A and B are shown apart, each in its own frame.
Chain A
Amino acid sequence: EAQVTQNPRYLITVTGKKLTVTCSQNMNHEYMSWYRQDPGLGLRQIYYSMNVEVTDKGDVPEGYKVSRKEKRNFPLILESPSPNQTSLYFCASSQQGAVSYEQYFGPGTRLTVT
């Protein structure tokens, strides 16, 4: 089954404690990205990756890091989380370059930073 998985699904942590949210896809997609969802703002892109070892900032990258060492995985790293990073996070993947690509979203990770 084609899918994007994220772990953990729920996380409560404290300010400053480094954390990683994993994202994995089994569709051999080149393009992966992370979004955060906040009330009244919709979803905003944090970082994206067009292929292995190729990453770039989205609209709201501050406070986040990513890496793409393997095609299937795209972890999101919060080195020193702060309360304003409390949000719902989605990972997504798609086929790069396809004229009519399909976006696949993970189930979401709800993060609370206290």
Chain B
Amino acid sequence: AQKVTQAQTEISVVEKEDVTLDCVYETRDTTYYLFWYKQPPSGELVFLIRRNSFDEQNEISGRYSWNFQKSTSSFNFTITASQVVDSAVYFCALSEPDSWGKLQFGAGTQVVVTP
């Protein structure tokens, strides 16, 4: 069963619009880690954020922000004032205690930002 669901396959926006990527996860553990990675057209995986299950504070890093809500098992990612360079595939991932080191990825969301 898919443990990480990214329901949005592709999102297209015009530059300067905000875009929110949804991530819903499933786990029985109380301790776990959540991640977001960016994969630009060049193909490498770029680490964006790691969040542990005990830290529910929202985080902002420049134009990026993350909303972690344990009550709904969601860890959503917002890009504010999008730019063409934000065009990429974004992956949400989960790591659980019985398999530390293994990331369970969602299917990814393709973000297309047009000028």
Contact = CB atoms under 8 A, between A and B. Distances in A.
B100 A105 contact: no
A58 B45 CA distance: 20
A43 B44 contact: no
Contact of B102 (A42, A45, A88, A102): A45
Instruction: Determine chain B's interface SS by DSSP, over half rule.
Output: loop
Interface in A89-114: 90, 92, 94, 96-97, 100-103, 105, 107-108, 110
B105 A43 contact: yes
Q: How large is the interface on B (under 10, 10 to 19, 20 to 34, 35 or more residues)?
A: 20 to 34
Given A97-B100, A105-B44, A107-B43, A44 B107 contact: no
Interface of B: 4, 6, 9, 33, 35, 43-45, 47, 50, 52, 91, 93, 100-103, 105-108
